[in-house]
């Protein structure tokens, strides 16, 4: 009985999502200006826009493993992840899971003023689907890392590498990339200088996710987690 109820719930959710999605698709604007919007927001934060070839592969894998494990296979919307989160939210009577892809998170920032709540959610999904026909996956990831909050008043992976480690983004190691990849979820609560224990735990979560996705070995993760959180001192790059 429980299985049938969940099946009916899933079917109802899918049907409602399709209807709302169609309305959102035809009611949302073109995303041809997405890169201009990213550049404007980066300028407002006073951070450089990363080019796709400036994103180190290890950092890309850390972010994907932690934030959006099917990033390279979906088209802006992770339907299995979305369905799972919606069913869990309905079962537990809360908005406990996000289910947003990296593409959706980027659209939320540049088109929806940082909010995907309520009716903004289907709009966010429609925009995410559209934008993947306009810019590439590497460009989306580079833009996401450009605008990602990495501290209470800090934005971008590049500035964070300089601020926390005193090195350019390209020169970090696995432990440092894992720390950066974990910061956007809670850039204040996991800030490594103010909350080192929370930052250590978050770094461990990222490394565990990378192991689960077979991007690194358990031995590599353990070695990275044993590394110092921050250098004794970090000057400007």
pLDDT at position 191, please?
98
Residue 11 has pLDDT above 90, yes or no: no
Rounded CA-CA distance 72/92 in Å is 30
Rounded CA-CA distance 180/220 in Å is 17
CATH superfamily of 51-70+149-232: Biosynthetic peptidoglycan transglycosylase-like (1.10.3810.10)
Q: Could you give the 3-state DSSP secondary structure of residue 105?
A: helix
Rounded CA-CA distance 218/214 in Å is 9
Task: Report the phi/psi class of residue 115: left, alpha or beta, with left for phi > 0 and alpha for psi in -120 to 50.
Answer: beta
Read off φ and ψ for residue 149, nearest 5 degrees.
-70, 130
Read off φ and ψ for residue 213, nearest 5 degrees.
-90, 5
pLDDT at position 220, please?
98
Q: Is the dihedral of CA 211, 189, 139, 170 positive or negative?
A: negative
pLDDT at position 59, please?
98
| Higher pLDDT, residue 52 or 6 | 52
The single residue listed with the structure tokens 């289910």 is 99
Q: Is 67 exposed, middle or buried (0-12, 13-18, 19+ CB in 10 A)?
A: buried
Helix (H) or strand (E) holding 183: none
Residue 139 has pLDDT above 90, yes or no: yes
The confidence band for 16, taking pLDDT boundaries of 50, 70 and 90, is very low
Question: Per-residue pLDDT averaged across 134-140, rounded?
Answer: 97
Per-residue pLDDT tens for 164-205? 999 999 999 999 999 999 999 999 999 999 999 999 999 999
pLDDT at position 24, please?
56
pLDDT at position 82, please?
61
């Amino acid at each position: 009985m429980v299985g049938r109820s969940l099946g009916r719930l899933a079917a109802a959710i899918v049907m409602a999502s399709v209807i709302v999605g169609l309305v959102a698709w035809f009611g949302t604007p073109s995303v041809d200006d997405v890169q201009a919007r990213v550049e404007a927001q980066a300028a407002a934060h006073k951070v450089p826009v990363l080019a796709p070839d400036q994103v180190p592969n290890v950092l890309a894998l850390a972010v994907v493993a932690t934030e959006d494990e099917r990033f390279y296979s979906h088209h802006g919307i992770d339907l299995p992840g979305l369905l799972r989160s919606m069913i869990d939210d309905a079962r537990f009577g809360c908005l406990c899971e996000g289910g947003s892809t990296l593409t959706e998170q980027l659209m939320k920032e540049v088109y929806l003023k940082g909010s995907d709540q309520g009716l903004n959610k289907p709009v966010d999904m429609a925009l995410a689907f559209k934008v993947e026909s306009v810019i590439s996956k590497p460009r989306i990831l580079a833009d996401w890392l450009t605008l990602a909050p990495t501290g209470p008043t800090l934005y971008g992976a590049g500035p964070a590498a300089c601020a926390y480690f005193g090195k350019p983004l390209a020169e970090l190691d696995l432990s440092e990339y894992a720390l950066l990849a974990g910061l956007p979820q809670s850039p204040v609560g996991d800030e490594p200088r103010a909350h080192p224990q929370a930052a250590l735990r978050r770094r461990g979560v990222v490394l565990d996710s990378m192991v689960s996705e077979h991007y690194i070995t358990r031995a590599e993760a353990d070695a990275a987690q044993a590394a110092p959180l921050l250098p004794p001192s970090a000057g400007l790059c």
